[in-house]
A and B are shown apart, each in its own frame.
Chain A
């Protein structure tokens, strides 16, 4: 088994399996542990600069990646004209820098604020390290190689689809520059970490809030009017 298979076939499947099974298990049986673990109460000012930049930056970037995966043809068409290609590349880079700036503030805050240190778990540091490495390699690719968006549609999308359709083609990524390989490998590590860290809060994003009624009422007994259920007599069970 070559390195390519280990990194570009085995790891992706391990990551996906862990992320799916682990997350479902945690959401079903460890509900109390699922939280965004906000620290805003403890420290407010730096969070303003860190959290907003990081979250909006990373959400836009991730949406971009997802779109490349879903509609690679659209991106190819868009990049047909150099002006639009520049626009896309510059926007992506700027958003990445925005996210990195926010992340830097968050890391600084977590390492220096005494109150934040009191609630920091080792997993928080794992998450921050992974994220930092991920954003840095992403920016490196965007700045150092031409052109990231072509690579995305030409190699990245087909490779992910080959994995998702269970016909893995590690050869697609085996000969890419190391930075790119690192970037994708970090993503799978990210998935491995997903169910064991606060990252699970991503999939609990409460979009249902847009539609749900303002007020929620819960009844201990839903069938309040229903007659008392008949209690069967227990005979001979020895209890």
Chain B
């Protein structure tokens, strides 16, 4: 057992209101620079929809992730010799227009325009060329489906959803969507790391953050294609690849990443997950339907004495261990089994987790419209029995989160529904009837678990949502550079030159 610690974020999609505060916090902090204008390390997509970059889940087109073949599990993008052969031209690289051409406005026109009959306007110009452009797309162009069903219809996850269901979903009164915030998944088996010919990308052993060493990056841009989530971006100005760094400088000082910290809906949780690095390959090679179960095996129980001993052996300190035991990520993912990674079938073993949304599901049954002839209590139970009639097709959620396995999604939704019904009974009726008790049992949960889920879902404090281990950077500095005081009065370490494009 090779125990390591991982910082994992958890997204409670039921709580996401699609406000994009996370994206803006991230943009202001990290990507408000030349060459990075088009990058959204954190973005929020309307689902069903095509996402950003457009249609990123279509891996036949973008060739991201791993695939299982007769040899074992290999990159979908290339074999090693192919990787070298494609250095001169990467056939699977998204173009800028797959994201969008970044733009700004010529604001000075508002002040400098000569006096005339009409109000001066600030015309849009390309942030790359400076020429006036006719804007074709932009960040969140598809927000709330943008008044059209084209985005939803082109969602790659809709492929095997029944035609009549798709038909229904595009009717104006039955339109349904939810939001999907996405950052880098900091995978256990990252395809970007494997695809980088220079070996510039690596995973940090201490907390699992995947980083690009820009001193080693040579712009071969294989990472951009290989990442199935399209979360590595190429800075067209500096000629280096960049990606979400999970705000490690913030985490190292005990602060939540900017996206999580700023989240208005408080949908994000963060905590330590312990994992067994020896099991990664086994987990990545599993048959598709077993992928998530195997990933769950890789994540270790921080209360298990054997795990604690092995962790100590591996140099994981007591502070990290304590954080792992209080981790909200652990509770949702492993203990309650309510959270899933995005697209397990990519086999990258993504370590950011999602609780599938229940709200768009409960809002209706009976051919997609709310029934007014039965009481709300009955609707609860009716939906519990008939999830397949849900307005947001279970198949769709399964394609997003469980490699098409609907059973997994149904189990999670039933449990979440059980929490909701139980708490409603308790607070409205003041008692729990037998029907509810039976329902709880069939959802595979208990009143105690329901209370705990309810508390962590609706009432957590900031300290409960974000549990960071002490990073002990001062010890790292001592181990690497010796006495830190000896450096007093010096100019410091790290970059001494501005990150400018080389000649």
- Is B237 within 8 A of A119, CB to CB? yes
From A41, A201, A212, give the contact of B234 (CB < 8 A). A41
B501 sits at the interface (CB 8 A): yes
**Which residues of the partner chain A approach B493 to less than 8 Å between Cβ atoms?**
none
- Is B204 within 8 A of A220, CB to CB? yes
With known contacts A217-B202, A221-B480, A117–B129 Cβ distance under 8 A: yes
**Which residues of the partner chain B approach A124 to less than 8 Å between Cβ atoms?**
503
Over the window 89-105 of chain B, the binary record of Cβ atoms lying under 8 Å from chain A Cβ atoms (1 yes, 0 no) is 11001111000000000
Segment at the interface with B among A32-40, A64-72, A73-81, A177-185: A32-40
Instruction: Kindly state the separation between the CA atoms of A62 and B237 in the bound complex, as whole angstroms.
Output: 30
- Is A219 within 8 A of B237, CB to CB? no
Segment at the interface with A among B141-149, B216-224, B258-266, B446-454: B216-224
Over the window 74-109 of chain A, the binary record of Cβ atoms lying under 8 Å from chain B Cβ atoms (1 yes, 0 no) is 000000000000000000000000000000000000
- Count A-side interface residues using an 8 Å CB cutoff: 60
B128 sits at the interface (CB 8 A): yes
Instruction: Kindly state the separation between the CA atoms of A114 and B132 in the bound complex, as whole angstroms.
Output: 12
A207 sits at the interface (CB 8 A): yes
- Is B503 within 8 A of A41, CB to CB? no
B305 sits at the interface (CB 8 A): no
CB-nearest residue of chain B to A36: B219
- Is B499 within 8 A of A218, CB to CB? no
B424 sits at the interface (CB 8 A): no
Over the window 202-220 of chain A, the binary record of Cβ atoms lying under 8 Å from chain B Cβ atoms (1 yes, 0 no) is 0011111110101111111
B80 sits at the interface (CB 8 A): yes
- Is A38 within 8 A of B221, CB to CB? yes
B116 sits at the interface (CB 8 A): no
CB pairs A–B below 8 angstroms (27 shown): A32-B499, A33-B497, A35-B218, A35-B239, A37-B239, A38-B221, A41-B96, A42-B236, A44-B95, A47-B89, A114-B129, A114-B131, A117-B129, A118-B130, A198-B502, A201-B218, A204-B198, A205-B87, A206-B199, A209-B80, A217-B203, A220-B204, A220-B473, A221-B476, A224-B315, A225-B313, A228-B475
B contact residues vs A (CB 8 Å cutoff): 80-81, 83-84, 87-90, 93-96, 128-131, 189-190, 193-194, 197-199, 201-206, 211, 214-221, 224, 234, 236-240, 313-315, 473, 475-476, 478-480, 482-483, 485-486, 488-489, 495, 497, 499-503
A contact residues vs B (CB 8 Å cutoff): 30-42, 44, 47-48, 51-52, 54-56, 114-115, 117-119, 121, 123-124, 196-198, 201, 204-210, 212, 214-226, 228-229, 231-232, 234, 239
